[in-house]
Structures are given as C-alpha cells and as structure tokens.
Amino acid sequence: MNESPLVSPRDRFPLGLPGHVVPVSAEPPTETGRPWGMCHAVSPSPVQTMGKHEKPTSTKSAPRQTSYTDDSKTRSDTVTETVTD
Amino acid sequence: MSEQTVLMLAEKDDAEAVYVSNALDRRGVRGAWFDTASFPRDADASFRVREGGWSGEITTADGSLRLEDISAVYYRQPQPFTFPDTLSEPERRFATVEARFGFGGVFMSLPVRWVSHPGRLADAEYRPLQMATAARCGFSVPMSLLTNRPDDARDFARAGRAVYKATMHKLISEDNHVKLIYTTPVAPSAIDERVTTTLHLFQSNIPKVHDVRLIATGGEHMHAVAIHSDTEAGRQDFRAAYDTLTYKNTSVPPDVARACHGYLRALGLGLGVFDFAVTGDGTWWFLECGPGSQWAWLQEETGAPIADAIADTLMGVDA
C-alpha cells in the first residue's frame, strides 16, 4: 500500500505492507489467530502543535483512492496515512 | 549564485525540506523543487539517453530544470503522483508504475550526491538490518529477540524487563479506528500462543535517564538533542507524551560518533536519524536509525543547525 513514487521496500522484499500507510478498515479483530503484537496498539497520543515545522509524529486520514488484492480480486479502498518516526 | 543545483524531491510544505531549501538558499545554491504529487497535472518532463546517460528537463510551475544542472538530490518522502480522477483503477496503476519507474530510473542514474539514495533508503528501513549493522559498527544494542515462538518470548521476558516493538507496522487500522503501537512493557504472563502468528520483536527495557535523537550526515556533520520527560510514559516512548518533553543540545561521546559514521558508510546513507536511550552510567544504547525520519521540530526547539549540515553535505562540504 505504500505508494511512495520512487521507492518501496515491497519492490525488493515481498514481505507485505511497510506499515506506515494502511487501508482504512472496518473489519473487527478476529477471535483467534490475531497477531499478539496487534493487541498492543493504542489510540495515538495528542501531538503538540509547533507552528510551520510541527509534528514530530502525526496521524492523518487521507481519503485517497487505492486498491488492494483480495483473493485475486482487486477491490477499491481508501488509505490512512501516518508518519510515525 | 553558485553553479550548483540541488533537486528537492519532496512535498512542497515538508518541514525538513523547507529548512534544507532555506539553508541552500543562504549558500547561494539553487534548490529546484519537484513535488512528485504535481505530476502530471502541473509538471511535465522529457528525457533522452545519450553516451553520458540521461539528459532532458522537467518543467514545473516554478520553472524548468535540466538534468545536467543537478549536482545533488535531497530525497524526503516525495508524495504519490496525482492522476485524473477519471482514470480507471488499472489505468491509474499503469500510469503510476510507468511514472515511478521512469522518473526513478532517470533520477537514480544521475552521477550526483544523494541525501539519501532511494535504494539505500529502502534497505535501511529494515529494523533487523539496522540492529545488526549497529552491532557491527560498535554501538551498544539492547538484547533482542525476534521470534514467533511463545516459549522463547516468555523466557526472554522472564530474564529481565522486556518491551515489545513493532518491527515496521506501527499503525493499525481496524474496526474504523486508527491506533499506534508504542514501545510497550511486557510481562511474561501476557505472552500467549498468538505470538505464533507472525514474528514479534522483543527487547530489553533499557532503564534510561533520557533519550537522544542524533542527526548525522555522510559529510560527517553531527547534531544530537537530548529529549527529557518527567513522566514514565514519556521516558518509555517519547512519542507517547510530547507535551511533557524538553529538549537540549548535547555532545556526543567519541565512540558513538565513530559508530554513527561507520553505520552511514555501511548502509551507504547520506543521512541518519539515530535514536538512543541513555542510561545513568553514560551508555548510549542504539534503538533505531530512521534514514528519513523527522528532525525539523528539534531544530525549531533547540536551534541546532541541522539543515545547514545537510545543505553542506549536499554541496560536498564535509565537517
């Protein structure tokens, strides 16, 4: 899902999502088999506004159209973008 | 005005890129922006390959830029190309891939300085590679375990204070909510069979006094900022408590400085944003190095001349 125009780790190592840009999903967590680490995600802490050169870390929603492959079918979706560095 | 021109591959209002562009301007160097999101709506390009490689020009709303005039490239999270909404999904995907590999191939073929080269950036995003490179370069790296074996994870957590970190996928979106994975303390009893689902990264919880974010360049410039928090949450992960943080420029131990430069050389990077946990005995523990991480807010908070260091590196001026 990383649409960075010139580089994507997916090009070299087909291991899946870079994890900084993910589809907005309404799917709830599953009862079994859910990766243990995902249960440690929490709501983002508020980010102090610092003027023009702000945001050490931010989470923003981007209603940008994209698509993903689901069982060989391409479906439309939107993405949420975040900068978590 | 200098003969040098730096291609700024960045979003127009990107804080880090604006700082670097201003620093280049102060040095009489042209910073020529190409916001990839403006292509093809507000930009066009035409290139030809000749004996010496690719030549040609890009024209944007700001003017034209000849490839032959580029002396360096500053690459800072350029944004996706923007195609007309009328395109179908296959059409949009085709246009995206052709533009990406077209521009990408032309830019990466240029015999110029990069901060940092996209190929090196891609490699350097892999945290296990970062950790191994750091260990080889002489950093103190916390004991770490990457596993999908619950028993190994429990043993690791029992052996001392442990935390869980996402290797890469820090953002979770499900159930119509967006969440982040911060550095999270882990009790052995909390580890269960769901660890088997995928690899999980556990690390010793370093009893740090404060954090340091250090910005080092391939030109051997270096600035370090100590990040203090008066809360437990902020000390555990400063991203979780920004409103509690205070910042102060700090000196860098010589062995850490040497290791930083060695790390950048090993991974071929023009810039590294290192995060350290500093303990009471003065040890700087390597946590990670984001090859494209943010530093503008630290320059704003402390006045550290980070953008000047990057501008000098783009100009080939070493520290």
Supply the DSSP string of A15-39, one letter for each residue. Answer: ----SSEEE---PPPPSSS--GGGG
The answer to whether residue A69 sits within a structural domain is yes
Q: Confirm if B174 and B219 have CB atoms less than 8 A apart.
A: no
% of chain A at pLDDT higher than 70: 26
Q: Which of A5-19, B60-74, B185-199, B210-224 has the lowest mean pLDDT?
A: A5-19
Establish, for the pair of chains A and B, how many residue pairs have beta carbons separated by less than 8 Å. 177
Q: Considering its fold, how many domains does chain A have in total?
A: 1
pTM (two decimals): 0.86
The answer to whether residue A68 sits within a structural domain is yes
The answer to whether residue A74 sits within a structural domain is yes
Q: Confirm if A23 and A79 have CB atoms less than 8 A apart.
A: yes
Helix ranges, chain A (H): 9-12
User: What six digits make up the tokens of B112?
Assistant: 């110029």
The answer to whether residue A77 sits within a structural domain is yes
* Mean pLDDT of all residues in B81-97: 90
The answer to whether residue A66 sits within a structural domain is yes
Structural domain range at position A65: 20-25+54-85
The answer to whether residue A10 sits within a structural domain is no
Order across the sheet with B208-217: list the strands.
Answer: B245-250, B222-229, B208-217, B271-279, B284-290
Which residues 6+ apart lie within 8 Å of B208 measured at CB? B235, B277, B278, B279, B285
The answer to whether residue A59 sits within a structural domain is yes
What number is the ipTM of this complex?
0.80
Q: How far apart are CA B33 and CA B63, in angstroms?
A: 10
% of chain A at pLDDT higher than 90: 8
% of chain B at pLDDT higher than 90: 77
Structural domains in chain B plus CATH codes: 5-115 (3.40.50), 122-141+206-315 (3.30.470.20), 144-204 (no CATH)
Q: Hey, are the CB atoms on B80 and A57 less than 8 Å from each other?
A: no
The answer to whether residue A35 sits within a structural domain is no
- Please report the residues numbered 30 through 49 in chain A whose beta carbons come closer than 8 angstroms to any beta carbon of chain B: 33-48
Q: How far apart are CA B57 and CA B222, in angstroms?
A: 34
Query: Which of B119, B168, B179 is opposite residue A42, by nearest beta carbon?
Result: B179
Expressed in angstroms, the distance from the first to the final Cα of chain A is 18
